[in-house]
């Protein structure tokens, strides 16, 4: 089965102290800190901010619970802003919202599926107001802006996730202007969470090799159950912890140029060949610096369940990010968050992972076109 899920890379921990030099050319300039998870990284970044209890943190309404939980754990108040149909923020609208919330101490901007947002004007507004600007690049490792700079180069803190791209048991990093060491220890709960996530990634590896529908269904259920066990532990511990040595080993062994080339090739094949009348790409134009986690598309009308079912019969799993992602406030006036709700209801994620070869990627396109 072809999916956008990550799988365990089957490499052990290094015998020597690993180096993360291969990633250096693809990260913004600044002080680098490693963490076990993005939650811990964000928790630490906001702790360093020193905001008082009750201070507001602005973020998009379509955002992972893993971003909101650390904010609330620090006694801060999430304040949601709306986005356009492509999940990119509206600059003037966000600037106006920022002006109406004097208690805001931080703004979080998501680069959805690694699609770069132009936040130069917002960065200027935040600097003038003394507001911390956090770039959530968890879905955009290796992405670049139109001017060639690495994603995350415009804000005060850039946050990246390794498991979403490299299939590691854990691992996140931040780049900021604040010097200082990252965490060094690993709690028991963090180690246990990493073990569950590794089991989840191994199940995904078996799922990608499966060809029988009954086995695919079994492995898919197993993968989901293992991920829930992982999340129950990882989502409850925000204390800054260091990543596993196997995570640093994966970063050391990585060939970024080859990784980017393979993903970009699959994106280009998808954009060149997709002709499905049932799907519309959220981003109609491809960009050379875009290295997405997956390519998002909308299903026409209310057909998502049927489209996903037919694709799965053909050996293609079209995932979606809905669980723990819908933060649209209940009772919001009018259609303030209509774009977010529409995306949640209709989107699917098309796999373009680097382990998908040309023949398999052509099969993905063919299945989508024949739905």
Mean pLDDT of 243-252: 89
Examine residue 323 and state whether it is found in any structural domain, yes or no.
yes
**pLDDT of 268 above 70:** yes
Examine residue 12 and state whether it is found in any structural domain, yes or no.
no
Q: Point out the domain boundary residue: 127, 156, 176.
A: 176
Note whether 160 and 123 are same-domain residues: yes
pLDDT of the residue at 327: 79
Note whether 27 and 151 are same-domain residues: yes
Note whether 150 and 56 are same-domain residues: yes
Note whether 232 and 355 are same-domain residues: no
Examine residue 4 and state whether it is found in any structural domain, yes or no.
no
Examine residue 15 and state whether it is found in any structural domain, yes or no.
no
Note whether 105 and 198 are same-domain residues: no
Predicted TM-score (pTM) of the model is 0.94
Note whether 222 and 324 are same-domain residues: no
Q: What's the domain count of the chain?
A: 3
Higher pLDDT, 9 or 251: 251
Q: For residue range 69-101, list pLDDT tens digits in order.
A: 999 999 999 999 999 999 999 999 899 989 899
**pLDDT tier at 335, thresholds 50, 70, 90:** confident
Examine residue 248 and state whether it is found in any structural domain, yes or no.
no
CA distance 40 to 159: 11
Q: Are 150 and 137 in contact (CB under 8 A)?
A: no
Q: For residue range 113-168, list pLDDT tens digits in order.
A: 999 999 999 999 999 999 999 999 999 999 999 999 999 999 999 999 999 999 99
Note whether 223 and 122 are same-domain residues: no
pLDDT of the residue at 79: 94
Mean pLDDT of 272-291: 96
Examine residue 16 and state whether it is found in any structural domain, yes or no.
no
Q: Residue by residue, what is the 3-state secondary structure of 288-323?
A: CCCCCCCEEEEECCCCHHHHHHHHHHCCECCECCCC
Examine residue 1 and state whether it is found in any structural domain, yes or no.
no
Range of the domain at 87: 21-176
Examine residue 284 and state whether it is found in any structural domain, yes or no.
yes
Q: Tokens representing 341?
A: 């709700």
Q: Point out the domain boundary residue: 152, 176, 200.
A: 176
Element (H, E) at 249: helix 245-253
Q: Point out the domain boundary residue: 149, 176, 203.
A: 176
pLDDT of the residue at 137: 97
Mean pLDDT in the chain?
A: 92
Burial class (CB in 10 A: 0-12, 13-18, 19+), 353: buried
Q: For residue range 170-179, list pLDDT tens digits in order.
A: 999 999 988 8
**pLDDT of 19 above 80:** no
**pLDDT of 14 above 90:** no
31-35 and 347-350 strand pairing: unpaired
Note whether 168 and 197 are same-domain residues: no
Note whether 26 and 147 are same-domain residues: yes
pLDDT of the residue at 184: 87
**pLDDT tier at 281, thresholds 50, 70, 90:** very high
Note whether 262 and 333 are same-domain residues: yes
| DSSP tag of 237 | -
Backbone angles phi, psi at 272, to 5 degrees: -75, -30
CATH number at residue 299: 3.90.1150.10
Note whether 200 and 133 are same-domain residues: no
CA distance 296 to 314: 19
CATH number at residue 46: 3.40.640.10
Note whether 32 and 104 are same-domain residues: yes
């Amino acid at each position: 089965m072809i999916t956008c899920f990550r799988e365990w890379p089957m490499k052990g921990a290094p015998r020597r102290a690993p180096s993360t030099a291969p990633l250096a050319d693809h990260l913004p300039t600044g002080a680098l800190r490693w963490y076990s998870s993005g939650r811990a990284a964000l928790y630490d970044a906001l702790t360093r901010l020193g905001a008082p209890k009750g201070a507001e943190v602005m973020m998009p309404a379509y955002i992972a619970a893993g971003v909101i939980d650390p904010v609330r754990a620090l006694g801060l108040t999430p304040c949601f802003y709306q986005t356009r149909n492509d999940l990119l923020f509206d600059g003037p609208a966000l600037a106006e919202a920022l002006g109406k919330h004097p208690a805001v101490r931080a703004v979080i901007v998501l680069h959805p599926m690694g699609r770069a947002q132009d936040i130069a004007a917002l960065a200027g507004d935040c600097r003038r107001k003394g507001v911390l600007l956090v770039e959530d690049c968890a879905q955009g490792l290796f992405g670049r802006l139109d001017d060639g700079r690495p994603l995350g180069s415009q804000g005060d803190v850039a946050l990246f996730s390794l498991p979403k791209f490299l299939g590691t048991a854990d691992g996140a990093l931040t780049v900021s202007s604040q010097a200082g060491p990252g965490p060094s220890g690993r709690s028991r709960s963090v180690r246990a969470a990493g073990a569950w996530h590794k089991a989840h990634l191994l199940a995904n590896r078996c799922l990608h090799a499966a060809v029988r529908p009954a086995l695919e269904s079994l492995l898919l259920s197993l993968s989901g159950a293992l991920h829930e066990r992982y999340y129950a532990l990882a989502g409850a511990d925000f204390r800054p912890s260091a990543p596993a040595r196997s995570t640093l080993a994966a970063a050391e062994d990585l060939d970024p140029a080859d990784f980017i080339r393979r993903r970009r090739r699959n994106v280009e094949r998808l954009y060149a060949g997709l002709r499905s009348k049932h799907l519309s790409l959220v981003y109609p134009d491809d960009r050379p610096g875009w290295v997405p986690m997956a390519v998002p598309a909308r299903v026409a009308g209310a057909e998502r369940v049927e489209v996903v079912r037919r694709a799965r019969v053909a050996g293609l799993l079209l995932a979606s990010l809905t669980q723990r992602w819908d933060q649209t406030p209940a009772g919001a006036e009018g259609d303030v968050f209509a774009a977010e709700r529409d995306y949640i209801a209709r989107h699917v994620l098309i796999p373009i992972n680097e382990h998908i070869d040309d023949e398999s990627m052509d099969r993905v396109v063919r299945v989508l076109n024949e739905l």
